[in-house]
Structure 1
């Protein structure tokens, strides 16, 4: 029997941004000694998405990529560092602890699972499901939407620039 998969619950749209390979830092108020592959659970809270839609109504046409209350992908937790000036150019870094992520993957089909606080071990049954799960290829359009969402969430969104090709 293999080791249970570790999992981290993250709010949308940030969970999707991590799994799409765009968000490479997750900010936490605590650290961990664990390094390795983690599952990314999209939490149930939808307030961040609602706020983005309120600010930018055009984003209501987003593809149905945001699922809640499910594991949507994986990333490798390669390090945890305290926020410093070295991270100032990374728009995702805010600290106090910056979890550095690499090798993100989005699942083709999300796996239902309850979220929890902290970095937690998944039940054996869910870990087995994840071992069989298929990875979804990302399109360039997926990455563009992720960048637009980040800009909207951070207040740097330029509506004319984002939709100039439409």
Structure 2
């Protein structure tokens, strides 16, 4: 799967659904699933150096000279796993990605299900 490294706090914002646009100085023709990976920079209350969520690149709009807005949607929760980030788009083996559709927003998960996922997969990795 294609992957993109973001600062850990921005990756967390994508995970939570608060960030639906990623601004880049370069465009891509790629549309489809994109694995969001947090860089190794240690930022409190994030999971640095891990892949944390899969989204879809819906579109890329040119905003100006060397300014592009990547429109992201279809957030899907995965079990975080370590990834060494790279610049630009890079590939990650699909077999490493383990989805948890029962806690995706469109399935309206219970608070208990979300808390159990956080306790099991996210909290132990948080910086």
Q: Output aligned runs, 1:147-166, within 5 Å.
A: none
Deviation at 1:115, TM superposition (A): 0.7
Partner of 1:34, secondary structure, is: coil
Taking structure 2 as the reference length, the TM-score comes to 0.73
Deviation at 1:104, TM superposition (A): 1.3
Taking structure 1 as the reference length, the TM-score comes to 0.57
Q: Larger % of helix: which?
A: 1
Which of 74, 95, 99 matches 1:128? 95
Q: Larger % of strand: which?
A: 2
- Alignment partner, residue 77 of structure 1: 57
- Alignment partner, residue 149 of structure 1: none
Q: Which has the larger radius of gyration?
A: 1
Task: Give the length in aligned residue pairs.
Answer: 107
Structure 1 gaps of 5+ residues are 51-63, 85-94, 143-166
Which of 3, 23, 34 matches 1:7? 3
Partners of 2:9 and 2:101 in 1: CA distance: 19
Question: 4+ runs of 1 displaced by more than 6 Å?
Answer: none
- Alignment partner, residue 84 of structure 2: 114
Which of 11, 20, 23 matches 1:27? 23
Deviation at 1:129, TM superposition (A): 1.8
Partners of 2:102 and 2:61 in 1: CA distance: 30
RMSD: 2.6
